A and B are shown apart, each in its own frame.
Chain A
Amino acid sequence: MAEVSLKGVKKSFGRVEIIKGVDIHINDGEFVVFVGPSGCGKSTLLRMIAGLEDITEGTLEIGGRVVNQLQPKQRGVAMVFQSYAIFPHMTVRENIAFGLTIARASKQEKQQKVAEAARILQMEHLLDRRPSQLSGGQRQRVAIGRAITRKPAVFLFDEPLSNLDAALRMDMRMEIGRLRRQLGTTMIYVTHDQVEAMTLADRIVVLKDGQVMQIGAPMELYHEPANRFVAGFLGAPSMNFLNVDVLDLDGEAAMVGNQSLEPIRVATRGRPFRKGGKAILGVRPQYLRAVQSGKGLLHGIVAHAERLGSETVVDLSLRDNSELIAAFDEDKVFEPGDALELTFDTALAHLFPDEGELQTH
């Protein structure tokens, strides 16, 4: 087990800077998830930790040792790939024992460790099969088995569940969670799936354009996003953003409103706003409640409703023609064209500076 520390890490391919200075400290035994949209550099960052990509600038420490110049095998890491990357010409047993074979482990040690991995992953009956005889979920299990037999200091997962179908993905997600509790090893997990991030992580690192947007516990990021990107990235359906006018400012709060929104007071959380200027109000769909006419903060017309059984997701068109999504946690019937008034706890709303506004001032 080991700590992993990235200090001012940068990566360029030619003149293009992919990772623009990343500082992350991962504690011993921690499960950290790198999450972000395609092309944000999360996989590149993981590959740099694995030693599959050079580090252009900055230092990478694993277990207190600078490993920038070390080969993958000297770093004490194991990696699980999106495409499983299990060797097609070897049986499951040979695949799992590959690292041990390379390390010239004794036959007895190999047998014992393969048996242990097979027991943990419940695949004793698959050991003599070839990869072509396995399903996607079983293949990924083999890849994980290969990773755990070497008892690495750090586990790296590169979108391990992306190739699986939805039902299997949930099973494997739970299995990885269980594995993590069983092994207690430091794990770094890359995904673009925020559900995986929210459910598995001790801490989430949200990346965008090669920069860290925010690091924190899942609920911390969910409830206190540092910026509009993080707020919009985590949570499903994603947070609503309304363009509002800043009507008044008083110390720690701002009075905002627009054509569709009654004036409300929202905490500024230390962000800069200007009276008379523009701002963006973020409200999660789950925080919206339908109320009787005359009591709502927001006024809209139902455009489309989806009944999911446990919740109802409504797409509304507001007076200023902007769109709003509301999620009610029960089965309700709405017809397109229905007028709907909504309210929410203003303490749960977030106010973000308008990016265009910031550039002009």
Chain B
Amino acid sequence: MAVNPDNYGLRLFVRYLVLCLIALIFIFPLVFMINSSFKPDSQLLADTSSLRAFLPVGDISLNNYFGAFRRAPVGLFVLNSVLVTGVTVLLSLLICSLAAFSFAFLRWKGRDVLLSIVIATLIIPFETIAIPLLLLVSKLPWIGLDGLHWGWLNSYRVQIIPWVADGLTIFLFVQYFKGLPGELIEASRVEGASWWQVYYRLVMPLSGPVLATAAILKFLVMYNQYLWPLIVVQQESYRPVMVGLGYFFQLNVAWGEVMAYLTLITVPVLVFYLLLQRAFIASIASTGVKG
């Protein structure tokens, strides 16, 4: 057996050990949540003082899941969240990239000042504008199939429209667009492309990485929405998942059902993230090569 003078194998082993330990620390809460969702409350609470909390042992059943479905319309909440989040992410990518396109490529008066203002909005916490925004949306008009009416409360649109455009997403796009080679844009202009054509034939196809990043960030923000839907949605039919958590924190907290509910609402996020992560890496691999 060859002796490695630098003990390369040992160093690699230690490195992986440390990395695995760190990964375990991060994954423990998730493991605890999933395992606990299968245990009755008495066992769940008893197990918290030992390592059994992280193992699927003892009285394992799906009762908590049935309980969760009995207690709250889980399917409806997930559907609402997925709908609101999906539509917001798509609209946000479209609107913010268009705004950023204008900031990055078009020349107009006040452009730089406006961009500074947009970026400055990043430092304003949502809590400070929640109430003014609530007053605003409660009085806005809307023309639907049933004619004109006032106030947006208790609807999907009140959960979607205020979140479509935001400073961070615009800023991400602006930074990415400014990094694209200017001669590509100029070449397409000379070839006869209108600005609209430059946007969808050239800039968007080259924006894979930033689209994936912006989508992930927006998804996380939207799926985890709590305060805003809590104050603008009173009807159960429009309620998203995080607000639905409130159904479980009443007189007697059923921890097993809470864990089952949390597991149910976490799965879509994980799936979405893993899917986009692949797209994210693929898009970097294809556009990063410039030769």
Contact = CB atoms under 8 A, between A and B. Distances in A.
Contact of A78 (B186, B191, B206): B191
Contacts of A52: 186, 189-190
A143 B186 CA distance: 13
Nearest to B192: A73
Given A81-B183, A132-B289, A132-B291, A87 B188 contact: yes
Interface in B171-190: 181, 183-184, 186-190
Interface residues of B, number: 22
Interface in A117-137: 131-132, 134
B287 interface: yes
Contact of A88 (B192, B194, B197, B287): B287
Contacts of B58: none
Given A88-B206, A132-B289, A132-B291, A83 B183 contact: yes
A78 B190 contact: yes
Interface string A63-90: 0000000011100011101110111110
Interface string B206-226: 100000000000000000000
A150 interface: yes
A51 interface: yes
B30 interface: no
A85 B180 CA distance: 11
Given A73-B193, A102-B193, A81 B187 contact: yes
A89 B190 contact: no
Given A73-B193, A102-B193, A103-B192, A81 B186 contact: yes
Contacts of A134: 291
Contacts of A102: 188, 191-193, 197, 201
A324 to B, nearest CB: 42
Interface in A28-86: 50-52, 71-73, 77-79, 81-83, 85-86
A132 B288 CA distance: 10
Interface in B4-35: none
B290 A146 contact: no
Nearest to A158: B183
Contact of A99 (B191, B202, B206, B289): B191
> Quick one: which of B188, B190, B201 has the most chain A CB within 10 A?
B190
Nearest to B208: A89
B189 A73 contact: yes
A85 B193 contact: no
Interface string A5-34: 000000000000000000000000000000
A87 B291 contact: no
Contacts of B202: 87
Contacts of B189: 51-52, 71-73
Interface string B74-117: 00000000000000000000000000000000000000000000
- Chain A, interface size: which category? 20 to 34
B246 interface: no
B181 A85 contact: yes
B190 A79 contact: yes
Nearest to B183: A85
Contacts of A132: 289-291
A92 to B, nearest CB: 14
Contact of B186 (A85, A86, A146): A85
A98 interface: yes
Contacts of A72: 189-190, 192
Contact of B206 (A77, A89, A143, A150): A89
A89 B192 contact: no
A95 to B, nearest CB: 10
Contacts of A139: 291
A83 B181 contact: yes
B179 to A, nearest CB: 13
A22 to B, nearest CB: 21
Interface string B121-156: 000000000000000000000000000000000000
Contacts of A86: 187
B205 interface: yes
B184 A85 contact: yes
Given A83-B183, A87-B202, A89-B205, A131 B192 contact: no
Nearest to A73: B192
A231 to B, nearest CB: 34
> Quick one: which of A73, A81, A83, A88 has the most chain B CB within 10 A?
A88
A80 to B, nearest CB: 9
Interface in B236-291: 286-287, 289-291
Contacts of B287: 88-89
Contacts of B184: 85, 87
Contacts of A131: 291
Contacts of B190: 50-52, 72-73, 77-79
Contacts of B205: 89
Contacts of B291: 131-132, 134, 139
A18 to B, nearest CB: 17
A98 B290 CA distance: 19
Contacts of A73: 189-194
13 contacts: A51-B189, A51-B190, A52-B186, A77-B190, A78-B190, A79-B190, A89-B286, A89-B287, A102-B197, A131-B291, A132-B291, A146-B191, A150-B192
Interface of B: 181, 183-184, 186-194, 197, 201-202, 205-206, 286-287, 289-291
Interface of A: 50-52, 71-73, 77-79, 81-83, 85-89, 98-99, 101-103, 131-132, 134, 139, 143, 146, 150
Given A52-B186, A86-B187, 18 more contacts: A50-B190, A52-B189, A52-B190, A71-B189, A82-B183, A85-B181, A85-B184, A85-B186, A87-B202, A88-B287, A89-B205, A98-B188, A98-B191, A102-B188, A102-B192, A102-B193, A131-B291, A146-B191
